[in-house]
Structure 1
Amino acid sequence: MAKRIRIKLLMDKPGMGQAGDVVEVKPGFMRNELYPKGVAEYVIVYTGPRNRQAEAEQVAEQAREKAIKSGQLDPSIHRDLYIRLRAKADRIESLSAIEFVRPRIRPNDSAIFGSVSADDILNQLRSEYQVELDPNSIEIERIKALGQYTCQIQIPHLGKFPLKVKVKAPQA
């Protein structure tokens, strides 16, 4: 199959489309016929570096509109607030787990000195992942033994998000 390129028609062309349509044609046809006569222009695919923040905001806005339509979100929530909340939720969802190291009380026991509390989780999320949360947004009982646990993080207007918490002993 011959290579084809995308072009935008600047005027109506019978058999191809109307002005403004984006169609695919052979490169030679565009180069020799359409472009010199001003019938079409090339569609430029790459227009510079990506603006990832703008793309993320656009995706968040589409998610917000979808949530409003489905009745899961109050339409009075301001767009900028929703984008900030969605960014927090995305960062939390992207974490596989957060880890804490605590010494054992006895060598072969899972009980630990100290504990892991909601404040410890908040501080680690703030310092290592730049996620600021309300102190009341984490649902977890104080962890007093080695192992893996799951806490729930409540983000206003978006719901609860699970976060794994691993507590391990220091390497000897």
Structure 2
Amino acid sequence: MAKRVQLVLSKDISKLGRAGDLVEVAPGYARNYLLPQGLAVHTTPGILKQVERRREEERQRLLEQKREAETVKAALEKAGRFSISKQVGENDAIFGTVTDREVVEIIANVTGHEIDRRGVTVPDIHKLGSYKVDIKLHPEVTATVDVQVVALK
């Protein structure tokens, strides 16, 4: 069986890797497709150093994003309870529902932190009361805030 060839990808290739990744492929695949198309280059000590440097930069960037997410989580928990006013009908039922956009807007007004609404998980809210809302700030950092739904005066 032929040995594998080590290459560094120049472009993203589905099911193989992203640009800058170090991959091992069959020699025929490398010789007949990846190298002639300019999708990969042979590894050299200099290129391996570049790959390691890029990995370290990416790791540092991800750590910084996690630190920022934890800072925002601390600010949200410090702010405590957020209050949303809604028009009320009979039996404390609200007209409509509380949406993720409303939650993001009230958080931005109170804390000044912009949050991606796609990371906000709002339970079904159809009555006045206090509810827990989960906010995913980072793949490893999730904040839970209290949202108080009160009657519009």
Question: In the alignment, which residue of structure 1 is the partner of 2:103?
Answer: 121
Structure 2 length-normalised TM: 0.55
SS at match of 1:104: coil
Larger relative contact order (C-alpha < 8 A, sep ≥ 6)? 2
Taking the aligned partners of 1:77 and 1:151, their CA distance within structure 2 comes to 30
Gaps of 5+ in 2: 1-57
Judging changes above 3 Å, is the alpha-carbon distance between structure 1 residues 134 and 170 closer, same or farther for their aligned structure 2 residues?
closer
Taking the aligned partners of 2:136 and 2:111, their CA distance within structure 1 comes to 17
Instruction: Give the Å deviation of 1:115.
Output: 2.0
Taking the aligned partners of 1:142 and 1:129, their CA distance within structure 2 comes to 24
Judging changes above 3 Å, is the alpha-carbon distance between structure 1 residues 127 and 83 closer, same or farther for their aligned structure 2 residues?
same
Taking the aligned partners of 1:100 and 1:169, their CA distance within structure 2 comes to 9
Gaps of 5+ in 1: 1-74
The count of aligned residue pairs is 95
Does the 8 Å CA contact 1:117/1:141 hold for their aligned counterparts?
Answer: no
Matched, 1:97 2:84: no
Counterparts of residues 2-41 of structure 1 (less than 5 Å): none
Identity between Structure 1 and Structure 2 (%)? 17
Task: Determine which of 131, 134, 148 is the counterpart of 1:152.
Answer: 134
SS at match of 1:145: coil
Structure 1 length-normalised TM: 0.49
Q: Which one has the bigger helix percentage?
A: 2
**Structure number with larger C-alpha Rg:** 1
SS at match of 2:136: strand
Question: In the alignment, which residue of structure 2 is the partner of 1:139?
Answer: 121
Instruction: Give the Å deviation of 1:85.
Output: 1.8
Q: Which runs of 4+ in 1 moved over 3 A?
A: none
Q: What is the CA RMSD across the aligned residues, in angstroms? A: 2.0
